[in-house]
Structure 1
Amino acid sequence: MTTGEDAGRDGGRTAARWAGVGCTAAVAALIVVVPWLLRNRLPDRLATHWSGGAAPDGSMPFRAASLFPAAIWLLVVLAVGLRWRRSWPTRRTWVPTALAPTATILVGAQISVVLANLDRTHWHDARQPTAGIAVTLVLAALTGVVTWRLTVRSAATAPPAPGPELPLADDEQVVWFSRVSNPWLQLLAALTGLLTVGAAVALALGLAAPAALWPMFLGGAVVSVATALCSSVRAKVSETGLDVAFGPFGRPTRRWAPAAIESARAEQRLPSQVGGWGYRLSGLGTTVMLRAGDCLVIRPRGRRTDFAVSVDDAERGAALLNALRARQRP
Structure 2
Amino acid sequence: MTHPHRTSDTGVRARFLLATAAWTVLVAAVLVAVPLAFAGRLPDPVASHWGPSGQPDRSMPPAALTLFALVWAVVAGTSLVGLARTRGEIRRATRVWFAAGLGWTGAFLIGVQAVTVAANLGRDDWSRAASPSWEIVVVVGVAFAVGALGRFAGRLGPDDAPPERERPGPLIDLDTRKRPVWVSTATAPWAVGLGVVAFAAALSFAAAALWGLAPAGWSTALPLALAAVIGLAVSSVSVRIAPEGLTMAFGPLRWPSRTVRLDRIERAWVEWRSPVQVGGWGVRGLPGRATVMIRGGDCLVVRYTSGGQLAVSVDDAETGAALLNALAARRTA
TM-score normalised according to structure 2 size: 0.70
DSSP-derived class of the 1:222 partner: helix
Question: Could you tell me which of 243, 250, 253 is aligned with 2:254?
Answer: 250
Question: Could you tell me which of 42, 45, 53 is aligned with 1:44?
Answer: 42
Give the number of aligned pairs: 318
Shift of 1:21: 3.8
Question: Could you tell me which of 187, 208, 217 is aligned with 1:181?
Answer: 187
Structure-2 residue corresponding to 1:55: 56
Q: Distance in 1 between matches of 2:148 and 2:230?
A: 21
Shift of 1:207: 0.5
Matching of residue 110 in structure 1 with residue 113 in structure 2: yes
Q: Distance in 2 between matches of 1:314 and 1:262?
A: 17
Q: Distance in 1 between matches of 2:311 and 2:264?
A: 15
Structure-1 residue corresponding to 2:68: 69
Tell me how large the CA RMSD over aligned residues is: 4.8
Shift of 1:87: 6.5
Q: Distance in 2 between matches of 1:190 and 1:75?
A: 25
Contact 1:109 1:132 in 2 (8 A): no
Contact 1:179 1:232 in 2 (8 A): yes
Matching of residue 226 in structure 1 with residue 230 in structure 2: yes
Percent identity (aligned): 34
Higher alpha-carbon deviation: 116-125 or 232-241: 116-125
Shift of 1:179: 3.2
Structure-2 residue corresponding to 1:81: 80
Structure-2 residue corresponding to 1:24: 24
Structure-2 residue corresponding to 1:313: 316
Contact 1:296 1:310 in 2 (8 A): yes
Amino acid at match of 1:162: P
Amino acid at match of 2:10: D
Structure-2 residue corresponding to 1:264: 268
Matching of residue 322 in structure 1 with residue 321 in structure 2: no
Distance 1:79 1:268, change over 3 A: closer
Distance 1:299 1:98, change over 3 A: farther
DSSP-derived class of the 2:241 partner: strand
Distance 1:318 1:127, change over 3 A: same
Shift of 1:182: 3.8
Contact 1:180 1:233 in 2 (8 A): yes
Distance 1:17 1:268, change over 3 A: closer
Q: Distance in 1 between matches of 2:243 and 2:141?
A: 45
Question: Could you tell me which of 162, 167, 170 is aligned with 1:164?
Answer: 170
Q: Distance in 2 between matches of 1:146 and 1:263?
A: 37
1:144-182 per-residue CA deviation (whole Å, 9 max, x = no partner) reads 999899979967826443211233478974332223434
Distance 1:52 1:300, change over 3 A: farther
Shift of 1:193: 0.9
Contact 1:56 1:127 in 2 (8 A): no
1:230-250 per-residue CA deviation (whole Å, 9 max, x = no partner) reads 122211122332111111332
Q: Distance in 2 between matches of 1:143 and 1:221?
A: 37
Matching of residue 235 in structure 1 with residue 239 in structure 2: yes
Amino acid at match of 1:49: S
Contact 1:105 1:140 in 2 (8 A): yes
Q: Distance in 2 between matches of 1:185 and 1:32?
A: 33
1:17-74 per-residue CA deviation (whole Å, 9 max, x = no partner) reads 332244335545765798899x7xx95337342386743332444xx57765346534
DSSP-derived class of the 1:57 partner: strand
Amino acid at match of 1:106: L
Distance 1:5 1:157, change over 3 A: closer
Distance 1:144 1:241, change over 3 A: farther
Contact 2:192 2:232 in 1 (8 A): yes
Amino acid at match of 1:69: F
1:72-92 per-residue CA deviation (whole Å, 9 max, x = no partner) reads 5346433432479x9654667
Contact 2:42 2:122 in 1 (8 A): no
Shift of 1:222: 2.1
Contact 2:172 2:326 in 1 (8 A): yes
Distance 1:22 1:189, change over 3 A: closer
DSSP-derived class of the 1:20 partner: helix
TM-score normalised according to structure 1 size: 0.71
Structure-1 residue corresponding to 2:299: 295
Contact 2:87 2:272 in 1 (8 A): no
